[in-house]
Amino acid sequence: MNVVKRRRVLTGGLTLAAVAGAAAAAPRGDAAVAPKGVSAATPRGDDAPRQNTSAEHTPGLRAILHRLTTADGVPGALVETRNRHGSTVLTSGVANVKSHAPMRRDSRFRIGSMTKPFVATVVLQLVGEHRVALDAPVERYLPGVIRGHGNNGRIITVRQLLQHTSGVPDYLAHLTPQEVLEDPLAHHDTRDLVNIALAHPPTFEPGTGWRYSSTNYLLAGLLIERVTGHTYGEEIRRRVIAPLGLRETYVPGDAPTIPGPHPRGYARPGENAPLMDITAINPSVAGAAGSMISSGTDLNRFLNALVRGKLLRPAQLRQMMTTRPTGNPDGRAYGLGLESRPLPCGGLYWGHGGDIPGYGTVGGATTDGRQATVMVNLNPGGTEAQDADMKAAVQTALCEGHHH
List Cα–Cα distances, 336 to 75, 117, 245, 264, in angstroms: 33, 8, 24, 32
Alpha helices (runs of H) in 206-271, residue ranges in sequence order: 215-228, 232-236, 242-244
pLDDT (average), residues 184-199 = 96
The parent domain of residue 287 ranges over: 3-401
CA 215: distance to chain centroid?
A: 15
* Spatial CA neighbour of 120 closest among 64, 177, 163: 163
> CA angle at residue 220 from 214 to 226, to 5 degrees?
145
Active site residues: 113
CA 91: distance to chain centroid?
A: 19
> Is residue 186 within 8 Å of residue 244, measured between CB atoms?
no
The dihedral region occupied by 343, where left means phi > 0, alpha psi between -120 and 50, and beta the remainder, is: beta
Res. 153 pLDDT band, cuts 50 70 90: confident
Res. 400 pLDDT band, cuts 50 70 90: confident
Torsion of CA 76, 88, 296, 162, to 10 degrees: 120
Res. 386 pLDDT band, cuts 50 70 90: very high
pLDDT (average), residues 374-378 = 98
* Spatial CA neighbour of 103 closest among 41, 39, 13, 46: 39
Rounded distance between C-alpha atoms, residue 23 and residue 38, angstroms = 19
The answer to which of 35-39, 117-121, 186-190, 277-281 has the lowest mean pLDDT is 35-39
The string of DSSP letters for 246-299 reads: -TT-B--TT--S--SS-PPPEE--STTPPPEE-----GGGTGGGT--EEEHHHH
Which comes out higher in pLDDT, residue 95 or 10? 95
Structure confidence at residue 4 (pLDDT): 32
42, pLDDT greater than 60: no
108-117, 261-270, 379-388: which is most confident? 108-117
Structure confidence at residue 255 (pLDDT): 97
Percent of the chain with pLDDT over 90: 77
CATH number at residue 187: 3.40.710.10
Torsion of CA 133, 137, 140, 144, to 10 degrees: 150
> pLDDT tens digits for 97-107?
999 999 999 99
One-letter amino acid at 397 equals: A
51, pLDDT greater than 50: no
Torsion of CA 182, 186, 192, 195, to 10 degrees: 20
The average confidence (pLDDT) of the chain is 86
How would you class 7 by CB atoms within 10 Å of its CB: exposed for 0-12, middle for 13-18, buried for 19 or more?
A: buried
Dihedral over Cα of 355, 64, 47, 305: its sign: positive
- Report the domain count for the chain: 1
The answer to which of 53-57, 68-72, 165-169 has the lowest mean pLDDT is 53-57
23-32, 101-110, 178-187: which is most confident? 101-110
The answer to which of 30-34, 182-186, 200-204, 272-276 has the lowest mean pLDDT is 30-34
**Coil, strand, or helix at residue 298?**
helix
